[in-house]
Amino acid sequence: MPRLGDRVLKVRSKNAGPFWVTIDVFCGSAEVFEQVRHELRTEAVAALFQQPTQLVKRFDIADLNVIKFSFPRPVVQGARTDRDMHGAQWAILLAELDVRR
Amino acid sequence: MPTRVLVPTGALGITFDRVALARGVAAKPHIIAVDGGSTDSGPFSLGSGTSKYSRAATKSEWRDLMVARAHAGVSLVIGTSGTCGTDATVDWMFEITRELAAELGQHLKVARLYCSQPPTHIAKALADGRITPLSPAPEISAKALGAMSNIVALAGAEQVQAALATGADIVIAGRTTDTAIISALPLARGEHAGAAWHGAKIGECGALCTTNPTGGVILLEFDRQGFTVEPLVEDACCTPHSVSAHMLYENSDPFILYEPGGYLDVTEARYEPLDARRVRVTGSRWVPSRYTVKLEGATLAGYQTSILAVLRDPHYVTHAQQWVDELHAYLVCQIAQRMGLHADAYSLEFRLIGMNSALGAMESRRGDPVEVGLLGLITAQTAETAEEIGKLVNPYVLHYPLTKDEELPTFAFPYSPAQSERGPVYEFALNHVMELNHPMQAFRLDVSEVGHA
């Protein structure tokens, strides 16, 4: 299966303050960036994190060959039911997403 | 005249390269600025008003910075002292400073910038329509505000400038924006406003904007058109990519950054290499707007007891989810029967480590683990209730059987007792901004002399 993480340089995630999480896909080259930006649909990312698509902000940054997604944390950082204080493991879900060429 | 800001590290308490710091002092900075805090680790620091880093680590690093400051003959400023920047952690940092001044034989003028907010003041601002929720924001009321254990307002450049204007050798600031301690002096000296904020954002995590993030120390030089960033660790470089990519870090929008009194827009910024190590940035824009400061608050969410057990028996590992669901339902009945506690009076949550404990319902993979850890989290209104529930559930967590007719299993407890008291737990309760008539309206300055005369 062509997993996103196998095709790009790095996928990382982190809180952007206690109420948001942000995920950066470092594509590594203009070629991979052009491919991935077309194949990676915002709807698929929203579904992966079980969020409504309209809440997901997306930035395709050609200068950096980066695709960035930000959305409100469904559980506020550190709230009783939060499972990942820094939101850094969320990236793994996206890295493991099957992205067909 | 350019303004040079020496940034020793992204956070006081996580160490930095001493040789690089000396190189920074030799570069004749106009100020040394270091961040002392973050919400990264969660609400406990703000909730309790304590530092997350050890006093010993903080003191040893602050000692080196105080010595460096004396050599450089400039001001040293720390923002968000003691992780959360409450009045209590400002005073904690002041006490460390006073001890060090005596030990180092330094005589110093120290300005303290206090950022804690009495709930009644915030409630008044709310009633006056001066509080605006950001998205997403918890619901607030005068009652909710009164229940918060700590509220801070994030100071911007103006409040740090007011502290520097006292002529202080050292400024110990409460909660500031990460960038304000760096942008304050360049702005006061009339450097390019967009560059001052943009450079501050690039530099706020120290060497994270370089190719060697562990070294810590960087130098930012601001002027009338832009800024230049340079790492001071020997083998580190700044590249246009390493610098511009830092705008992504912990930022929901990589082009816009809101600060008190306006926002930074880097959409048109240009990043150019000056040489193999340094990057020059121009084209950043500062857009002034009404003067608001962001608020942070934490509320006590209860007291917690945790319990940990490990399942190694393959029969239980295979059926762990079914087992824990049945265990949970059984315990809710037991707690109701024996303690008279209804399920909405406490929270009992089990997470299966080895299956989905990090991602919960979002987890998409199913593995074949050798063992499964059971983490139980009990949250109640008092520590006594949480502990009592912990003791009540303990034998069932140890022995609960999947079927009625089997011999009682005994799982692995890693220590005795298997339950641990976690004390008070907090939650973030504010994501709002407050409008001010003038920047010092919600802040206080206190100036004193410490050390040997």
Structure confidence by residue, pLDDT tens digits, B25-59: 999 999 999 999 999 999 999 999 999 999 999 99
pLDDT band at B215 (very low <50, low <70, confident <90, very high): confident
pLDDT of residue A86: 97
Q: How many residues does chain A have?
A: 101
Which ipTM score applies to this complex? 0.95
Distance from CA of A16 to the nearest CA of B (A): 4
Q: Nearest residue on chain B to A69, judged by CA atoms? A: B252
B52, B140, B248, best to mutate vs chain A, most A CBs in 10 Å: B248
pLDDT of residue B216: 83
Can you tell me the mean pLDDT for B322-332? 98
- From CA A11, how far away is CA B305, in angstroms rounded? 35
pLDDT greater than 70 at residue B362: yes
Can you tell me the mean pLDDT for A16-27? 97
Q: Nearest residue on chain B to A14, judged by CA atoms? A: B250
Closest CB to B357: pick one of A20, A83, A86: A83
CA angle B70/B74/B79 to nearest 5° reads: 100
pLDDT of residue B173: 98
For B293-310, write each residue's pLDDT tens digit: 999 999 999 999 999 999
Interchain contact, B252 vs A70, CB within 8 Å: yes
Strand B218-222: give its sheet, edge to edge.
B270-273, B279-282, B226-231, B218-222, B3-7, B31-37, B75-83, B170-173, B107-114, B444-451
Contacts across the A-B interface (CB distance below 8 Å): 98
Q: Spell out which chain B residues touch chain A, with contact meaning CB-CB distance below 8 angstroms.
A: 39-44, 134-138, 241, 244-245, 248-255, 301-302, 347, 349, 351, 357-365, 377, 379, 425-428, 431
Distance from CA of A23 to the nearest CA of B (A): 9
Interchain contact, B364 vs A83, CB within 8 Å: no
Can you tell me the mean pLDDT for B346-361? 97
pLDDT greater than 70 at residue B453: no
Q: Nearest residue on chain A to B353, judged by CA atoms? A: A83
For B185-195, write each residue's pLDDT tens digit: 999 999 999 99
pLDDT of residue B206: 86
Torsion of CA B436, B446, B11, B451, to 10 degrees: 170
For B52-97, write each residue's pLDDT tens digit: 999 999 999 999 999 999 999 999 999 999 999 999 999 999 999 9
pLDDT band at A61 (very low <50, low <70, confident <90, very high): very high
Interchain contact, A22 vs B252, CB within 8 Å: yes
Chain B CB contacts of A83 below 8 Å: 351, 357-360
pLDDT greater than 80 at residue A101: no
Interchain contact, A18 vs B251, CB within 8 Å: no
pLDDT band at A100 (very low <50, low <70, confident <90, very high): confident
pLDDT of residue A1: 55
For B145-155, write each residue's pLDDT tens digit: 999 999 999 99
Chain B CB contacts of A77 below 8 Å: 39, 42-43, 428
Interchain contact, B431 vs A24, CB within 8 Å: no
Interchain contact, A16 vs B379, CB within 8 Å: no
pLDDT of residue B15: 87
Which of the residue ranges B91-105, B236-250, B389-403 would you say has the lowest mean pLDDT?
B236-250
Interchain contact, B431 vs A18, CB within 8 Å: yes
Q: Is the pTM of this model over 0.90?
A: yes
